[in-house]
Structure 1
Amino acid sequence: MSILNAFVTPDLALIGVDTEARLPDGATYQVCKLVTVPHLGAAAGFRGLDVLQMFAASAIISFKGDFDALAETMPGLLTEAERFCRDQFGASGDALAFNVVLVGYSESAGCMVGHAFDRTADSEEIKIASGLPNFIAPDVEADQLRSLHIVADKPGMSILARHQCQLIRDHDPGMAAGGRFFIAEVRRNSIHVEQAFEFPPRPEKVG
């Protein structure tokens, strides 16, 4: 289910995503898993079914309201996106599990704020976490995280993402993780997105 990370401080939010996706036949391709909303100083990262992002992205970009109102709308929006995936594509079970992170400038809080919206395969409930200082998916065990000596900056996020990619490939070589890693720097009045690095290519199949 690829890589999605966020570090949030009062003045700056970093959100990072990989680009690799896989077709049912095992072919890999690259997709955008990041949506930016410059006039709100906001960005959303997605981890899960691509058509869920396709449905949700247009509503996020064209939202009429401030960042706080968008955050309040997200659970209902994602529920509708989930319904679309079921009705139009027959998605169910693991296919409907997702992580979505929304970061941006909150007028009410007067600072950058992060929200996470998570749905597991065995539950129809969308869990919401607000005011997050960080979000890491896939999760990394606490002792491994300490050993990486991560600092909440762009180099730290790159170190974390490389480690996550290796964890995913070791656990399930068929799972999407890799391609290129992009990091968005989100501030109240600016968003800067750039490629941080390319992940190692997958080993060639023998035979």
Structure 2
Amino acid sequence: MSILNAFVTPELALIGVDTEAMLPSGDLQQVCKIVVNPVLSAVVGFRGLDLMQMASAPVFSGWKGTFDALAEYVPELMRLCEEHCITAHGQPKEQLITNFALAGFSESSGCMVLHAYERTKHTQPIEHHRSIPQFYAPYWGDDHLKSLGICADRKGMEVLAREQCRKAREERPTDFACGGRFFIAEARRDSIRIEHAFEFPPHGKDC
């Protein structure tokens, strides 16, 4: 899996992602996990099976409708992408665990809004969390999050990502790909900026 975090206020949405991905062979590669749609002031971050991002990215970038309509369509999009991954790529259903985080300017709310989508098991429905203030993955509970003492801003997102990387490598060192570079997208109405925030330490070194 990967690191995917998002914070939102009425004026600003922040989405942060790492770049590390693990191939079936166990080899690590660096990949892009963010897609933007400047017309909608929208950013979507991905976590999980890379084929899901590859299948869904054209829809996010080429959507011909409102942000609100896109947000409601995403669960159906995920379902269609899952079918594609199974039929075209022979992907086992149990490996379709995926998170999407979509932030953008909501026409109905008149502000920046965050939606999160989770596929935890193929036997369960895709969860759609509407108009939430933040999203964290991986997530180890409220007590762990509170212990970091962070604010929902750019600096807080960097602190959180470093801790997520440290804890993931400590608890699941062989099957949890996280690291590489960390990018933060800042989305406002009519403005999107993406910057390389920092680089995670190589595996085997402290985060």
Do both proteins adopt the same fold according to a TM-score greater than 0.5, normalized to the shorter chain?
A: yes
Deviations 1:5-42 (A, max 9, x none): 00010000000000000112221110000101111000
CA contact (8 A) 1:41 1:187 kept: yes
Aligned residue in 2 for 1:203: 204
Stretch deviating more after TM superposition (185-194 or 134-143): 134-143
- State the Cα distance separating 1:123 from its structure 2 match: 2.8
Aligned residue in 1 for 2:123: 123
- State the Cα distance separating 1:125 from its structure 2 match: 1.0
| Alpha-carbon distance between aligned partners in 2 of 1:66 and 1:93, rounded to the nearest angstrom | 31
Stretch deviating more after TM superposition (85-94 or 53-62): 85-94
- State the Cα distance separating 1:94 from its structure 2 match: 3.7
| Alpha-carbon distance between aligned partners in 1 of 2:173 and 2:123, rounded to the nearest angstrom | 26
Aligned pairs for 1:1-207 (under 5 A) are 1-121=1-121, 123-174=123-174, 175-203=176-204
Deviations 1:111-130 (A, max 9, x none): 00010110113534101100
Stretch deviating more after TM superposition (148-157 or 135-144): 135-144
TM-score w.r.t. length of structure 2:
0.95
Misfit runs of 4+, over 6 Å: none
| Alpha-carbon distance between aligned partners in 2 of 1:124 and 1:79, rounded to the nearest angstrom | 12
- State the Cα distance separating 1:140 from its structure 2 match: 2.8
Deviations 1:38-81 (A, max 9, x none): 11000000001101100000111111011011111111111100
Percent identity, aligned pairs only? 53
Which amino acid counterpart does residue 117 of structure 1 have in structure 2?
Answer: Y
Q: Which runs of 5 or more residues in structure 1 are unaligned? A: none
Which amino acid counterpart does residue 129 of structure 1 have in structure 2?
Answer: H
Q: Report the aligned-residue RMSD.
A: 1.2
3-state SS in 1 of match to 2:161: helix
Deviations 1:177-206 (A, max 9, x none): 0000000000011000001100010128xx
| Alpha-carbon distance between aligned partners in 1 of 2:57 and 2:10, rounded to the nearest angstrom | 25
3-state SS in 1 of match to 2:14: strand
Aligned length: 204
Stretch deviating more after TM superposition (34-43 or 170-179): 170-179
CA contact (8 A) 1:94 1:120 kept: no
- State the Cα distance separating 1:93 from its structure 2 match: 4.1
Which amino acid counterpart does residue 34 of structure 1 have in structure 2?
Answer: I
TM-score w.r.t. length of structure 1:
0.95
| Alpha-carbon distance between aligned partners in 2 of 1:52 and 1:11, rounded to the nearest angstrom | 29
3-state SS in 1 of match to 2:81: helix
CA contact (8 A) 1:20 1:31 kept: yes
| Alpha-carbon distance between aligned partners in 2 of 1:93 and 1:78, rounded to the nearest angstrom | 13
| Alpha-carbon distance between aligned partners in 1 of 2:133 and 2:189, rounded to the nearest angstrom | 17
